[in-house]
């Protein structure tokens, strides 16, 4: 990680640039995959699976026998951990339901809003270098609470045509209705257009690499909603002199090991802390099984030393990190000043890992600066809100003349007439 001492604010954008492939190149590659799947369906999916995952599958569906095998072979301790995480995630997300509340905006005019589930959702779960069964919890639990009728899950197979048993166990636990052994852009294409095997869906969720993210964004141009642009993982840790450099180093590496295109940022108010964290990172890196991946991610990550907390807050809000760890004194107070972040972790004993797995919050979060305008996944992500209104005769008599005048001013006379014919009706 390169270290910068008190860089000027007008240089922050360049110092914190995310590692990405040119969008035009991605769209060209991924667009071709999606178009091919639209035309050839299952056969195209089969060919891309063979090319990218190294296995040719006659049937993409995960069978009941495979789920039963996963249930039987998964270690009891891991099952218990997954069940605990599910309980916490259910508890947090179930409280996000909003009661229906009718509002009388004026006498005889009632308006209300009702939450209804999105009927068909597709969940993408990365397999790649790490089987992210935790993402099944983060997406499957709120989808089930919302009452989505079809909950389809796609995840890449391994070289033997198998899916990690923890993914299968978790998917079964949270009530996924269909599971398919399809990964990458081809999974997004299958859920977008539908094939003879895979149903098309109304909204697609889930993290992934740049190809998956590009595929989701292209899908959104074809009438399928997506959760957000969620790409390579990132974390920003802000540490003052009260921080433990060993903790901070572990937090940085926990994101760096996700993938070579991940990015980690350390913002500190002390050059001494910056050096101590750098030493701790080197010591811990040597013991990581995924050290080669983490080392590559660290090559495009940075440490920035700033003079005061005000500057740190300004930089954080400019960067808009996916994960933000405030390892500082009075972390709660500093947290109140954060405007742009996917999820915030307060204090020295709140590692980002707890949010990734089991605290209860959702780990599907906006990356690449999208936290400036997007929220992370929540129960709201799986529901639509329909508005209702009901007027009594007296209500229309009170409101109608204003509506008539407004419609006439816009020269929309049929709009005005729809009110007028009712007002002219004899009692």
Is 99 in the same domain as 198?
yes
The secondary element (H helix, E strand) that includes residue 414 is helix 413-423
| Domain span holding position 282 | 232-375
323 is in an annotated binding site: yes
Is 160 in the same domain as 31?
yes
Is 66 in the same domain as 214?
yes
Q: Which CATH number covers residue 366?
A: 3.40.50.1980
Catalytic residues: 322-323
Name, in order, each residue with C-beta under 8 angstroms of 291's C-beta and a sequence gap of 6 or more. 285
348 is in an annotated binding site: no
Residue 333 lies in a domain: yes
Beta bridge partner(s), residue 263: 234
3-class SS of residue 82: helix
Residue 382 lies in a domain: no
CA-based nearest residue to 370, from 170, 197, 234, 180: 234
Is 69 in the same domain as 108?
yes
Is 78 in the same domain as 214?
yes
Helices vs strands, H then E, count in the chain: 17, 14
Note the pTM of the prediction, 2 decimals: 0.93
Is 265 in the same domain as 365?
yes
Is 107 in the same domain as 193?
yes
3-class SS of residue 3: strand
- The domain boundary residue, chosen from 169, 192, 226: 226
Reported as a single tens digit per residue, the pLDDT across 49-80 is 999 999 999 999 999 999 999 999 999 999 99
Q: What is the DSSP string of 300-368?
A: T-EEEE-SSHHHHHHHHHHH--SEEEEESTTHHHHHTT--S-SEEEESTT--HHHHHHTSSS------T
Is 196 in the same domain as 315?
no
209 is in an annotated binding site: yes
Q: Which residue has the tokens 């891991």?
A: 78
Reported as a single tens digit per residue, the pLDDT across 137-163 is 999 999 999 999 999 999 999 999 999
What six digits make up the tokens of 313? 């807050």
Is 368 in the same domain as 418?
no
Is 341 in the same domain as 411?
no
Overall number of domains in the chain: 3
CA–CA separation, 312 vs 403, rounded Å? 51
Reported as a single tens digit per residue, the pLDDT across 210-224 is 889 899 999 999 999
Q: Does the pLDDT value for residue 20 go beyond 70?
A: no
Number of Cβ within 10 Å of residue 324's Cβ equals 28
């Amino acid at each position: 990680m390169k270290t910068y001492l008190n860089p000027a604010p007008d240089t922050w954008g360049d110092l914190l640039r995310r590692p990405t492939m040119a969008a035009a190149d991605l769209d060209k590659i991924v667009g071709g995959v999606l178009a091919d799947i639209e035309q050839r369906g299952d056969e195209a999916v089969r060919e891309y699976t063979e090319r990218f995952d190294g296995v040719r599958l006659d049937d993409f569906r995960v069978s009941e026998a495979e789920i039963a095998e996963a249930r039987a072979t998964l270690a009891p301790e891991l099952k218990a951990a997954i069940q605990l995480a599910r309980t916490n995630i259910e508890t947090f997300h179930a409280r996000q339901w909003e009661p229906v509340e009718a509002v009388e905006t004026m006498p005889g005019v009632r308006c209300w809003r009702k939450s209804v589930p999105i009927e068909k959702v597709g969940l993408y779960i990365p397999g790649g270098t790490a089987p992210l069964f935790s993402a099944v919890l983060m997406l499957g639990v709120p989808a089930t609470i919302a009452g989505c009728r079809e909950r389809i899950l796609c995840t890449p197979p391994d070289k033997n045509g198998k899916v990690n048993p923890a993914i299968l166990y978790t998917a079964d636990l949270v009530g996924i209705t269909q599971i398919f052994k399809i990964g990458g852009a081809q999974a997004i294409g299958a859920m977008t257009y539908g094939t003879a095997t895979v149903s098309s869906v109304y909204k697609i969720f889930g993290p992934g690499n740049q190809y998956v993210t590009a595929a989701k964004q292209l899908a959104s141009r074809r009438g399928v909603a997506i959760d957000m642009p969620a790409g390579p993982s990132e974390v920003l840790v802000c540490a003052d002199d009260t921080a433990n450099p060993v903790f901070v180093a572990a937090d940085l590496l926990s994101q760096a090991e996700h993938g070579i295109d991940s990015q980690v940022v350390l913002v500190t108010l002390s050059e001494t802390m910056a050096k101590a964290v750098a030493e701790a990172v080197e010591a811990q890196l040597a013991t990581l099984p995924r050290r080669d991946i983490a080392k590559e991610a660290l090559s495009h990550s940075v440490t920035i030393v700033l003079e005061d907390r005000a500057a740190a807050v300004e930089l954080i809000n400019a960067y808009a990190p996916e994960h933000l760890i405030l390892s500082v004194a009075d972390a709660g107070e500093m947290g109140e000043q954060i405007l742009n972040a996917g999820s915030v972790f307060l204090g020295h004993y709140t590692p980002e890992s707890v949010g990734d797995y089991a605290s209860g919050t959702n780990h599907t979060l906006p990356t690449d600066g999208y936290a400036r305008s997007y929220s992370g996944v929540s129960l709201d992500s799986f529901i639509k809100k329909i508005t209702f209104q009901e007027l009594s005769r007296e209500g229309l008599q009170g409101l109608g003349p204003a509506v008539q005048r407004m419609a006439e001013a816009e020269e929309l006379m049929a709009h005005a007439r729809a009110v007028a014919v009712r007002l002219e009706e004899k009692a």
